[in-house]
Amino acid sequence: MNSTTVDPRPRSALRVAVGTALSLAVSFSLALPLPFLAPMLTLFLLVMRNQPLPLKGGIALAVVVALTTSSGLLVTPLLQYYPLSGVLVIALSLFGCFHYALRGGNNLLSTFVVIGLTMIAAAGATSFALALMVIEGLIKSVLVTTIMVMISHWLFPEPKGLPAPAPPAKSTPDEAKWIALRAALVVMPSFLMALIDPASYMPLIMKSVNLGQQVCITSSRNAGREIIGSTLLGGLLAIGFWTLLSILPHIWMFFILTLFFILLLARRLYRLVQNTLSPSFWLNTASTMIILLGQSVQDSATGKDVYTAFAVRMGLFTAVTLYACAAIYVIDSRRMHRLKNQLSG
């Protein structure tokens, strides 16, 4: 069979599952700060790109991450001494990051800047040492992600002769402004909550950043199914995952279960199992499951009540998701009202 006729989707699904599982196992084995970050970044990179990051590119990306995420530290004095001004600067900066990505900018760079402006600024407002720990966790996670992506592509390379994927379509200037506004509004409440207790709300920020990315490609018509449905399904899968992991709580069991669950989702993401849901639905489901599981494992290691913490965290995730749907509806309604007025005028 000619290589150009080979269906790359089964290999892509395996690559995503193996890479994410390896990244998760390595992160928790090395006890990295915020160990759920590396598997999430690996998942996003393997889905977004069909080519591996070269080692030099990964190191360069780690340097860029260090520089961009450290931008959150620049806002820390404002948050400490002029909190209202600091919050407004963060809100405007988030709008600029999402608008940059929607107008054809580097989506990966935009995501890292959003993470830096939220997670690190919130941590720095409370403790400079905590902010440095978050930066350290991000840099180490990027390096682990680079290596795991390289290994995944080595194990499951893309068939030769495949055309490069088409770049995402740019939004029009007016559309980009409205979508960037609603994405920034989705992220802001979690950031404000993290200012109170950064260590407890870091997972909520990551969930909000993930939702911010998702609302950039979701309309109000299907927001409930796409955003709420994927969040609830991610929570249900996390419960099933944790139940199985409790039978044999070992890192290799963690790896095998991650491989199995991500493969189930990746097969649906790549339409190997026919369904009517978008790839972003399955990507958000997988990322929600990883965040919830990562925090549950850390809660267990520190002696916290895992089930109570999970229930609280899932409640917060659901509340943030409902708020995201409301923001999409309100912003889209305002936009349609403005368009009707312009047409009637």
pLDDT score recorded for residue 175:
78
pTM (2 decimals)?
A: 0.87
For residue 13, give both structure tokens. 């699904």
- Which amino acid, 46? L
Q: What is the pLDDT of residues 104-161, one digit of tens each?
A: 777 777 887 888 788 888 888 888 888 888 888 888 888 899 899 999 999 998 877 6
The confidence band for 288, taking pLDDT boundaries of 50, 70 and 90, is very high
The predicted pLDDT at position 301 comes to 79
pLDDT, one tens digit per residue, over 43-53 is 988 998 777 77
* 283 vs 135, residue with greater confidence: 283
pLDDT digits (tens, 9 = 90+) for 10-24: 999 999 999 999 999
d(Cα 57, Cα 86) in Å, to the nearest integer?
33
pLDDT in tens, 197-254: 877 788 888 888 887 777 666 655 666 677 888 899 999 999 999 999 999 888 999 9
What integer pLDDT is reported at residue 252 of this predicted model? Answer: 92
Of 3 and 336, the structure prediction assigns the larger pLDDT to 336
**Residue 217 pLDDT:** 66
Q: Which residue has the higher pLDDT, 4 or 333?
A: 333
User: What tokens were used for 328?
Assistant: 């999409």
pLDDT at residue 1, rounded to an integer? 43
Q: What is the pLDDT of residues 172-198, one digit of tens each?
A: 777 788 888 888 888 888 888 888 887
Task: Identify the pLDDT of residue 263.
Answer: 96
How far apart, in whole angstroms, are the C-alpha atoms of residue 91 and residue 32?
29
Q: Residue 2 — pLDDT band, cuts 50, 70, 90?
A: very low
Q: Which of 218-255 are b and which e, b meaning 16 or more Cβ less than 10 Å from the residue's Cβ?
A: bebeebeebbebbbbbbbebbbebbeebeeeeeeeebb
CA 73, CA 345: separation in Å to the nearest integer?
47
Q: Given this model, what pLDDT does residue 163 score?
A: 62
Higher pLDDT, 194 or 27: 27
